[in-house]
Amino acid sequence: MSRISDRFDRLRRDRRTGLVTYITAGDPSLAQSAAILKTLDATGVDVLEVGVPFSDPLADGPVIQRATERALASGTTLDGVLQMVADIRPDIAAPIVLFSYANPIMRMGLAQFTARAAEAGVDGVLTLDVPPEEGREWHQAFTQAGIDMIFLLSPTTSTERMRKAAHLGRGFLYGISRLGVTGARTDISDAAAELARRVREVTDLPLVLGFGVSTPEHMQALGRMADAAVVGSALVQVIAEQGTDGDPAAAAATYVRWLRG
């Protein structure tokens, strides 16, 4: 059983809503990203999502786009992200999921990437722009490396595509609770509950919901629909506000403790 499956089994036994956190690796530096991830793990975050910076992050809103720009400007590469994960893996209990677009992985080479990721201790990979219909080669490579392949679902995803994602996917399914790009919102979209209902009809894979989570009330609302909630842009903004001279790890921990109530 993978670390991801084990973590969600534990959440279901404990009847507790999990928390998945997203940060952009290399913002403001890889060394500070490592410190942030260690601190988030120490606060009890259930899954650590590590974003690989990419020059054209089309699914992301302005907060994560700016974070990606800062990470690229600091010299962050996929190779550097994998090395950072390898360095901190012995100190991290939570599963680590890489969040990437396909291009950086294809540039490295799928076989080389999966081998490097497995060696580094990556537990899962979510590739935003690889749909289930084109994911068989990727699924085979990830499976052979012992890495969970995670798919993205949206309110407009067809039932047929949901079934394909559930068939090929491992670990959990990532549900986008609203249409549009990433970014904190003041409320949870009504589409979240309907998406969760539809996913539950086709699979018992754990479901996490994201895109807009920023308050304890959002956590409580999504906990009634899904196994876990994802906080991304709001946390990335907290880190950004610290700049290069602040303490982003401490600020991230304070925010996460508040978010969990």
pLDDT of residue 147: 98
Active site residues: 49, 60
Q: pTM here? A: 0.93
Question: Per the structure block, which two tokens stand in for 55?
Answer: 């020059």
What distance in Å separates the CA atoms of residue 4 and residue 172, rounded to the nearest whole number? 8
Question: Per the structure block, which two tokens stand in for 82?
Answer: 């994998």
pLDDT of residue 178: 54
The DSSP symbol for 133 reads G
> Within its chain, how far is the Cα of 104 from the centroid?
17
pLDDT in tens, 66-109: 999 999 999 999 999 999 999 999 999 999 999 999 999 999 99
Conformational region of residue 176, where left means phi above 0, alpha means psi within -120 to 50, and beta covers everything else: beta
Kindly give, in sequence order, each residue whose CB lies less than 8 Å from that of residue 32, ignoring residues fewer than 6 positions away.
248, 249
pLDDT in tens, 142-157: 999 999 999 999 899 9
Return the CATH number of 3-259, one of 3.40.50.150, 3.20.20.150, 3.20.20.70, 3.40.50.300. Answer: 3.20.20.70
pLDDT of residue 189: 58
C-alpha radius of gyration, the chain, whole number: 17
- How many alpha carbons fall within 13 Å on the CB side of residue 124? 30
Residues of the chain with pLDDT under 70: 177-189
Question: Per the structure block, which two tokens stand in for 48?
Answer: 């650590």
